[in-house]
């Protein structure tokens, strides 16, 4: 019997809930569960089960297919990403089905591309980056590891956003960062 495709989302906050929904809507995951430090006091969020806390993920390895760190804090997301790597857990990328992503774009592991985003030709998005709702990235742009483009960010073509950068909602980037 084939194992169900189960995604473990690290972080049961606002971004985590959005990632869980996008994962299910993408059709790539049959089930989404959470790891969060509110467990065991809290066992569900928005209809999803919280099955462990972050430092006990190794106890649920047989129950999951892959995982993704889903927290807005860039440093914490990076820490959780490396935790998953150290445990040899496959790291998922989640793309909302309403996002438009060029076939020439290179998307790293642990990236989230949320609803209504546009990712243009030859864009490179490195590991752990968040491209939040309604953001657009034009051609030949580089988004560094664990960068976070908040809601509605616009990046014109041929720009570089450094690793661990945070761009606030509505930012328009027309120069190098």
> Which residues are known to be catalytic?
139
Q: For strand 48-52 and strand 44-45, is the pairing parallel, antiparallel, or unpaired?
A: antiparallel
Please check if 148 is assigned to a binding site: yes
Query: Rounded distance, CA 139 to CA 29, Å?
Result: 29
Terminal-to-terminal C-alpha distance of the chain = 50
Strands 124-125, 106-107: parallel, antiparallel or unpaired by DSSP?
parallel
Q: Which long-range contacts (CB under 8 A, 24 or more apart) does 59-62 make?
A: 60/8, 60/35, 61/87, 61/89
β-pairing, 112-113 vs 130-131, is parallel
- Asked whether residue 72 is marked as a ligand-binding residue, the answer is yes
How far apart are the C-alpha atoms of 12 and 3, rounded to whole Å?
24
Q: Which residues are annotated as a binding site?
A: 72, 148
């Amino acid at each position: 019997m084939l194992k169900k495709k189960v995604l473990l989302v690290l972080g049961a906050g606002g971004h985590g809930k959005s990632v869980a929904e996008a994962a299910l809507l993408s059709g790539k995951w049959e089930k989404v569960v959470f790891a969060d430090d509110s467990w065991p006091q809290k066992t569900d969020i928005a209809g999803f089960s919280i099955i462990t806390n972050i430092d006990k993920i190794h106890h649920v390895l047989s129950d999951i297919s892959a995982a993704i760190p889903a927290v807005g804090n860039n440093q914490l997301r990076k820490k959780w990403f490396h935790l998953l790597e150290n445990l040899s857990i496959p790291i998922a990328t989640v793309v909302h089905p309403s996002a438009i992503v060029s076939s020439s774009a290179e998307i790293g592991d642990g990236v989230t591309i949320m609803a209504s985003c546009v990712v243009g030709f030859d864009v490179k998005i490195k590991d752990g980056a968040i491209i939040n709702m309604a953001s657009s990235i034009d051609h030949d742009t580089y988004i560094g590891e664990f960068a976070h483009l908040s809601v509605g960010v616009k990046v014109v073509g041929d720009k570089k956003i450094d690793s661990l950068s945070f761009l606030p909602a509505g930012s328009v980037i027309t120069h190098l960062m």
